[in-house]
Amino acid sequence: MNRFGPGPAPASSFRPLLLLLIGIAGLAMCLTLLFLSMRAVMDIGGACADGGPYVSRQSCPSGVPLAMIGGIFGLFAFGGLATAGGVQVGGRYGGIVFLAWPALFLSLGWNFLEYGIRPPGGDGPDIGWLVCGVVFVLMGALPLLALLPSRSSARRDPLAMRRLLVDLQARQRQMAPRTQPSDDGAPAPVRMDLTSRLERLAALHAHGQLSEAEFDEAKRRVIAEVAAGR
């Protein structure tokens, strides 16, 4: 059966999306565990220990060691699932896992800043925690800013679209003899108007669903198909 025809989609087509969603949900869970575990430790002064040859004056809150270990290793496990699913889905989803780095350091930096300004016991600002907070925020914010589209690329998009439309109009004029009306006055059948097809591809490219190479290849294929009258 034609995969574009009616009927249920194969289960394998949902697997990449399922992996991506499970990976994202797992990453969110692990980041939350680390965020809350850190706050639980900072509530008791920022340090704790259990077991070993020495007895700590401050035991860790119940469940915190397990939550921290599970959160750290879970980041790698669910990050792998999100990467595997995102690469198969395609587009920008293949790199969505890189957002976990800014999310981790920005959330932990927030904890340092909040507890640095108002440490447990109300003894005034804690300079050490404030410095850590600034460092963590920078470690999370700078990579996040690098992932955002630049203004120059945003300015190039309208120009690229304008050049594309001019190119389409020129090609349509060249192919005008191919689409002359038939004897009964009806236009010759055309599978899809060239402009609308390429505008759709350009929209997919602008939204990140097609890479630059995929967009160029799809554009060449559409132009070749219309030129051949298919």
Summarised one tens digit per residue, pLDDT across range 159-172 is: 555 666 666 666 65
Q: How many C-beta neighbours within 10 Å does residue 115 have? A: 22
Residue 187 pLDDT > 50: no
Nearest CA among 95, 86, 38, 83 for reference residue 65:
38
pTM, full prediction: 0.60
Question: Average pLDDT, stretch 57-83?
Answer: 91
Q: How many C-beta neighbours within 10 Å does residue 192 have? A: 12
Q: 176: buried, middle or exposed (CB in 10 Å: 19+, 13-18, 0-12)?
A: exposed
Structure confidence at residue 41 (pLDDT)? 92
pLDDT band at 52 (very low <50, low <70, confident <90, very high): low
Contact 87, 73 (CB under 8 A): no
Nearest CA among 48, 78, 44 for reference residue 60:
48
Structure confidence at residue 186 (pLDDT)? 42
- Among 183-187, 192-196, 213-217, top mean pLDDT goes to 213-217
Structure confidence at residue 162 (pLDDT)? 61
Nearest CA among 104, 125, 103, 105 for reference residue 116:
125
State what percent of residues in the chain have pLDDT above 90.
35
Nearest CA among 2, 3, 72 for reference residue 34:
72
How high is the mean pLDDT of the chain? 77
Structure confidence at residue 49 (pLDDT)? 78
Structure confidence at residue 28 (pLDDT)? 96
- Could you report the per-residue pLDDT of 137-160, keeping only the tens digit for each? 999 999 888 776 655 444 445 555
